[in-house]
Amino acid sequence: MSNISTSSNSVVEQEQLFTDLTPEQGAVIEGGAWLYLYKATAIKAGADFGWSNGDDVYARINGDKTSTTNDVDTGETANFSKWKQFSGTASINLFDSDGGLAGDDDSLGGFTVGSTPTNGYVTTRISGSGSTYDVTYAVYA
Ligand SMILES: [Ca+2]
Ligand SMILES: [Ca+2]
């Protein structure tokens, strides 16, 4: 039975090793790329004009929704700090949540990134629904 025990321990150790990898290391092993969506700063928050003072900002990365930061006023920043693995391209789209179905939320614009590493943070300006945001991200591959 000692052989079975040894084999079982080995599997556990491999799983722990993989869990301890940083996303950059994981990307190298799996052949994919990682997007780190860091933050979005409101140059102009205007998607809730007439309702409240700030936008309620969340992002979708290839459809996956981040958490929402409510009442983001002009000059304020929504932090996503979200890792997402992808292959090929990743689309990043920001929205102002209006509390209903996703289809009712206002588009704040978006962009697409490829799997070429950015060598640090990149900031892209997007606009939509009366708002303008500077979105900061990095790509690791
Ligand atoms: Ca709105
Ligand atoms: Ca809103």
Residue 3 located in a structural domain: no
Reported residue count of the chain is 141
pTM flag (> 0.85): no
Ligand nearest to the CA of 104: 1
**Cβ–Cβ < 8 Å for 72, 55:** yes
Short-list 98, 95, 99, CA closest to 40: 95
Residue scoring higher pLDDT (100 or 94): 94
> 15 lies in a domain?
no
Residue 62: is its pLDDT beyond 80? Answer: yes
Domain of 96, in residue numbers: 24-140
Query: d(Cα 127, Cα 141) in Å, to the nearest integer?
Result: 28
Looking up residue 94, the CATH number of its domain turns out to be 2.60.40.150
Ligand 1 (ion): residues with CB under 5 Å are: 47-48, 96, 98, 106
pLDDT attached to residue 99: 78
Please name the residue that has the structure tokens 């945001």: 133
pLDDT in tens, 35-48: 999 999 999 999 99
Specify whether the backbone of 81 is left (phi greater than 0), alpha (psi in -120 to 50) or beta.
left
Take residue 69 and report the two structure tokens written for it. Answer: 């930061």
Residue 36 lies in a domain: yes
pLDDT band at 52 (very low <50, low <70, confident <90, very high): low
Rounded-to-integer distance, Cα 136 and Cα 138, Å: 7
Q: How many domains does the chain have?
A: 1
Rounded to the nearest angstrom, the distance between the alpha carbon of 128 and the centre of ligand 2 is: 13
Distance from residue 55's CA to the centre of ligand 2 (Å):
5
Q: What is the whole-number distance in angstroms between the Cα of residue 67 and the centre of ligand 2?
A: 14
